[in-house]
Homo-oligomer: A and B are copies of this chain.
Amino acid sequence: MKWTKKQRQPKLQERIKEDPFITDEALASLFQVSVQTIRLDRLEMNIPEVRERIKDVAQKQYDPVRALPEEEIIGEIIDLELDKYAISILDIKQEHVFSRNNIARGHHLFAQANSLAVAVINDELALTANAEISFKRQVSAGERVIAKAKVVDIRRNRTDVTVESFVEQSLVFEGRFSMFREDYAEGGE
């Protein structure tokens, strides 16, 4: 059963409030209307598009990346608290997929996660020592991957970072990265 615009708009607003990362495509399929209808609803209710919402949710002023120049990060950092957590988004384009089946190549999802694990470290030097990773679901061209890194353990010169990457609400990649860093006691601030 479809709702009228009047019924739909408050529910839409509520849904976006619950999950600011939800895309117009996902909302369209949820409410069984076209993407265009969702866009018009958003315009009428003055709700920005998902990329802007993600940035709004993120801290307005996130910490500056220390371990590498920000332009060397694969994906776009949208939130970061050094030695705590970081979030980045990567839009999967034609250049990221296998030509044969349109599925994103593992090393791009790995690169997004790994560079986020480097970026979250509060040190001038951070290198990956080892990692256990898992590809949970195929990702296709056109999808947006949101990676969330969390620092889970800081020892003297080793820091463990977990990264979970999502498309919409579904987990597509997870990894645990063990990172070398300069001595935390000296390097941390």
Interface of A is mostly: mixed
Copies of this protein in the assembly total: 2
A135 in complex: contacting residue of B98, B107, B129, B138, CB < 8 Å = B129
A110 in complex: contacting residue of B68, B72, B110, B134, CB < 8 Å = B110
Q: Quick check: is A99 within 8 A (CB to CB) of the other chain? A: yes
Collect the chain B residues with CB atoms within 8 Å of residue A105's CB: 72, 111, 115
| Chain A residues with a Cβ closer than 8 Å to the other chain, count | 27
Per the bound structure, the CA–CA distance linking A135 and B134 in Å amounts to 17
Collect the chain B residues with CB atoms within 8 Å of residue A132's CB: 130-133
Q: Which 9 residue pairs of A and B lie closest in terms of their CB atoms, listed nearest first?
A: A107-B111, A130-B134, A106-B128, A132-B132, A131-B133, A107-B114, A106-B114, A110-B110, A128-B135
Contact B129 A134 (CB under 8 A): yes
Per the bound structure, the CA–CA distance linking A69 and B101 in Å amounts to 11
Contact surface of A with B, Cβ cutoff 8 Å: 68-69, 72, 74, 98-101, 103, 105-107, 110-111, 114-115, 125, 127-135, 138
